Each structure stands twice: as structure tokens, then as C-alpha cells.
Structure 1
Amino acid sequence: MGSKYNLVIVTGGSSGIGKSIIEDISKLDPEASLFNLSRRIPASFYNDPKRVHLECDLADRACRIRVLDDLERRISDSTQQGPILLVNNAGFGIYGDLGRNSPAEHLELLEVNVCALVELTTRLLPLIKKRGGAIMNIASTSAFQPTPYLATYGASKAFVLSWTLALNEELRGTAAHAIAVCPGPTKTEFFKRAGFAKRVVPAGYSHSPEQVSSMALKALERRRTFTTTGTLNKVLSLLVFILPLSLRTRAAGKFIRRFRSDPSN
């Protein structure tokens, strides 16, 4: 498998799935130009002119606008004029009863998981359609049912999945397409950042960032509309639709609550 994208833009590429996607793209096409948008610079971006880090707090809309203006100028000036791949990977969760976290924290999550994704995609979409390319949005298996104690996170990923499917249908017949990637529990910093008492990676359902990246890029090459990583996660995502919505919600809440940081609550 080779990469047909010679200009790749990734959000949240300093660690986890985003970092793995950057490294996999680099192996497929060492000449590809790479842009990373995040607060931290990936270690591999030092002293490599093909890798450009644009420092950005994706929760800050004013910062996003400034960085996107800079990004568009850099793309215009780039010698790479072929297809573009945009990977909206950045995201985080907050865990606990809905009132445990402040309104500002929930809104920050939505800014990163939803607003930044929509803004980057809509800003770059005309250029991607013109030059050809793809938009890969990282959703989650949480997108398939309501997730008590991860309510805002799960709803944000449901938005990402629905929005990406709709976008891909609108792109039918153009030189661009969109794919939603729905990983199950992945061995990243997500659980620590979200506030879990312990890492939630059930055996058989979990994957490393490298495995998720490999599966996502294979699905992208096959022009899939969406993909769920791993056989067990695919089966689970289908089985949840057999149960009534209220029962699915209760079951998800019962499972997620097991990992609360304060067992007395």
C-alpha cells in the first residue's frame, strides 16, 4: 500500500493515533509534506523541513482562525500540489456525572471534538475538492450509543460519525471523499486525561495506536465510508442496535460506571 496524498494535515499528532498516522504516512511516502496542529510539537518534527508544526490550542477559536490563515498560506506556497489528506484526530473526554465538571469543561470538549473539526474541514474543503483528497475524522465506538458518565464525549463522537457520513454523501461524484474511523478502547493518554481511575482497555477490544492507524489507512485506501477497528468491536457495534435504545444506554452506563475514580459514588 502506498500513499497517494503528498500533503497531509493532522490535528493532535503529538501522541496517540495522530502520531501513528503521521509515522505511517511518512513510511508510505517519505516525500509527503506534513502539517501538525496541536499544542505540543511531535518529537519527529524537529529538524525536518517536510514536517511543519503549527502550535494551536484547538479549543480557542481565535487561535484556530490565526493558525488556519497561516496553514492556507503555507499550502498555497508549498511545492506539493497533489491530493490532500486532512486527519481530524484531536479530541478528549471528561468522565463522571454530568455536573461533576464545569460548563466550561464541557464546552471546551465540544470546541475540540466538534467545532475545530467542522471549522478545519469546511475551511479546507474547497481546496481538497479542487486538488483531490480525503477527510479522515476519528470518531469512536462511543458514537453508536449514549454513554452515561461520558455523556458529552459520546455525543460529540456521535456527531462526528453522523456528520462525516453526510459529508461523504455530499462529496459523491467529486475528487474527494470522507471516512469516519471508530476505534474501540485504544492504549493512549485518553483515559488519564478523561479522569478514569484506571485504564479501560478490555482484552480483545483494545488496540495500540499503531494498529488503529494501520486499520484506518487500509480503510481509507479502500474508500470506505466508515470503519470500526477490530473484529470484536465491529460485532459489538452491530449488536448494540438489536437492543432498545433505553436498554443500550443503561448497559453502557453500568459498564462505564465501574471505572469511576471514587468507588463510594
Structure 2
Amino acid sequence: MKKTALVTGASSGIGYALAERLAADNYDLILVARSKEKMDAMKAAWPDLSVKVITKDLSKQGAAKEVYDEVKWAGLVVDLLINNAGFGLVGAFQSLPIEQQSNMIQLNCTALTELTSYFLPDLRSRSGKIMNVASTAAYQPGPFMAVYFASKAYVLSFSEALSEELNGSGVTVTALCPGPTHTQFGAVAHAENIKMFSRTMNVSDVASAAYRALMKGKRVIITGRLNYVGALAAKLLPRAWGAKTVRMVTGSKKTK
């Protein structure tokens, strides 16, 4: 019996690369993103698969439930859930519009949590898999990306806790923690010129490592050796030091 995977943020970056890997493994797909044109092109590229396109902005309240309802209306059952959609912003907390930061929390945390809740009964009935895309940002506070770093800390903590809750149920939960990756994230976050993005991993390499970890049911995957070392150092060092280190790599100066 063929399996179905739902991927959010599927039209670009890590989501797109993971959708490609799933298509190569003959998964039917449910693609969720804002860009219908890009997803329609992906669907056309995989004519032998069943691909459902759902155009949705998950940063809007209630959007996750609308996705779930549309999937159920189509009579589809999800075997694999990849909560990839997310974005970040660079800047002092007080200088960034609170509406944008609230949307970030809604997308990075709330929609991810809601989709996991809605689809968990499907996944439990089919010994399914969940991947939540966190970040190496989850391991320390992030001055000048304060809400983004905090949101990814939530994703990692939630994923690890849920993995333990579901231990023995047949459902695995994997938290993907990439470092800076060559995607559109930097442009959206206005982060292309900060030190943090001076070196980025190839998105295909990140997706390949993530996919292997997902299939093995690993609890956490940090992509890239340097990123792994950095995350380990963040665990060992005092959090105040971690915050100062992030401040240096964001290239931001002290605000008054």
C-alpha cells in the first residue's frame, strides 16, 4: 500500500528538497504552502504520483485546521508529517513589528503544534513518522533574532517530549536542527549580510541527512559537523555566553 506524506513549506528550501526525496521514494504527497504556482509545477513534475496541492498561509489563525479539514474531505490519510514551514526576522525586538513577530510564533510554533495534534490519530493508526524542523538556534538565546530562536527552542523541546510520550506507539518524532542553509530563509529574514549566513550548507545535503534520520526514527538530527560542534558547545557553555556569541554572529550592535 502506498504511503502519503504531508509537507508544509513545500514550495522552496528544505521543504522542497524533502518533497523531492519523498517523491523519489514513491510517496504520494500533500503539499502545503502559499505559492500555488510552484506547487502546481511540482505536481506536474511527478505525474506518476498522487499529489494534492493546498494553498494556505499557516501564519494565519485557523489555517492548520483548514488544512486538516481539506485533507479529510479529500479522503486522504497521512502516514508521514513534515512540519517544515517557518520564517525568521533579524533586528532588535523593539524595532520589529509585533504583528510580524506574532505571525512568526503562529507559524513556527502554533501551526506546527496544531497540525501534529490533528494528524496524530492517523499517524498512530499507521505507525507513522513526524519531522518537525527546528534549528541549531534552538540551543541558545538569540539576541537580534530573539523570537525566532525562542520559537525553535519550543519546536525542539516539544518534539523531544512528544517523542518520549509516543515511545512504543509505533510513531516516531524527529527534530531536524539545521544550521544556516542555502535557502530563501536569509532573504526573508533580511539576514544575508550577517556573519551567521557567511557559510551555509547546501539544501540537498541537509535534506538527505534529514531524510535518513527520519526513516531511522532518530529523535534529533543536527546537520553538518560544525553545526553539531556548535550545538554541543551551546549545551556546555553558560547561556549568557551563548547569547553573547549569537550577538557577535548576527553582526548587530548594542542598542540604547
TM > 0.5 fold call: yes
Q: Which amino acid counterpart does residue 51 of structure 1 have in structure 2?
A: V
- In structure 2, the residue corresponding to 1:241 is in which secondary structure? helix
Partner in structure 1 of residue 135 of structure 2: 140
**Structure 1 segments unaligned to the other structure (5+ residues):** none
Q: Which amino acid counterpart does residue 111 of structure 1 have in structure 2?
A: Q
- In structure 1, the residue corresponding to 2:73 is in which secondary structure? helix
Q: How big is the shift at 1:102?
A: 1.4
| 8 A Cα contact 1:5 1:85, kept in partner | no
CA distance in 1, matches of 2:211, 2:192: 32
Superposed, which structure 2 residues align to 1:144-223 within 5 Å?
Answer: 144-198=139-193, 200-203=196-199, 206-223=200-217
CA change 1:225–1:197 in 2 (3 A) is closer
Partner in structure 2 of residue 6 of structure 1: 3
Partner in structure 2 of residue 227 of structure 1: 221
The reply on whether 1:64 has 2:53 as its aligned counterpart is no
CA change 1:62–1:221 in 2 (3 A) is closer
| 8 A Cα contact 2:186 2:197, kept in partner | no
State the TM-score, normalized to the length of structure 2: 0.91
CA change 1:195–1:5 in 2 (3 A) is farther
Matched residue count? 250
The percentage of counterpart residues that share the same residue type is 33
Encode CA deviations 1:31-58: one digit per residue, 9 max, x unaligned.
Answer: x210011111322123746111101110
- In structure 1, the residue corresponding to 2:197 is in which secondary structure? coil
CA distance in 1, matches of 2:115, 2:64: 8
State the TM-score, normalized to the length of structure 1: 0.88
| 8 A Cα contact 2:14 2:84, kept in partner | yes
The reply on whether 1:253 has 2:247 as its aligned counterpart is yes
| 8 A Cα contact 2:175 2:221, kept in partner | yes
The reply on whether 1:25 has 2:22 as its aligned counterpart is yes
Q: How big is the shift at 1:264?
A: 11
| 8 A Cα contact 1:5 1:133, kept in partner | no
> Which region of structure 1 is more displaced relative to structure 2, 48-57 or 168-177?
48-57
| 8 A Cα contact 2:179 2:223, kept in partner | yes
CA change 1:20–1:5 in 2 (3 A) is farther
Encode CA deviations 1:196-216: one digit per residue, 9 max, x unaligned.
Answer: 25274344xx31111111000
CA distance in 2, matches of 1:5, 1:215: 23
Q: How big is the shift at 1:5?
A: 7.1
> Which region of structure 1 is more displaced relative to structure 2, 89-98 or 221-230?
221-230
**Structure 2 segments unaligned to the other structure (5+ residues):** none
- In structure 1, the residue corresponding to 2:201 is in which secondary structure? coil
Partner in structure 1 of residue 13 of structure 2: 16
Aligned residues: CA RMSD: 2.1
| 8 A Cα contact 1:135 1:177, kept in partner | yes
Superposed, which structure 2 residues align to 1:117-136 within 5 Å?
Answer: 117-136=112-131
Q: How big is the shift at 1:130?
A: 0.9
2:238 to 229, 240, 244: 244
CA distance in 1, matches of 2:95, 2:22: 39
| 8 A Cα contact 1:149 1:257, kept in partner | no
Q: Which amino acid counterpart does residue 96 of structure 1 have in structure 2?
A: G
1:104 to 95, 99, 103: 99
| 8 A Cα contact 1:64 1:116, kept in partner | yes
The reply on whether 1:116 has 2:107 as its aligned counterpart is no
CA change 1:152–1:195 in 2 (3 A) is same
CA distance in 1, matches of 2:106, 2:42: 27
| 8 A Cα contact 1:87 1:137, kept in partner | yes
Q: How big is the shift at 1:99?
A: 1.1
> Which region of structure 1 is more displaced relative to structure 2, 40-49 or 109-118?
40-49
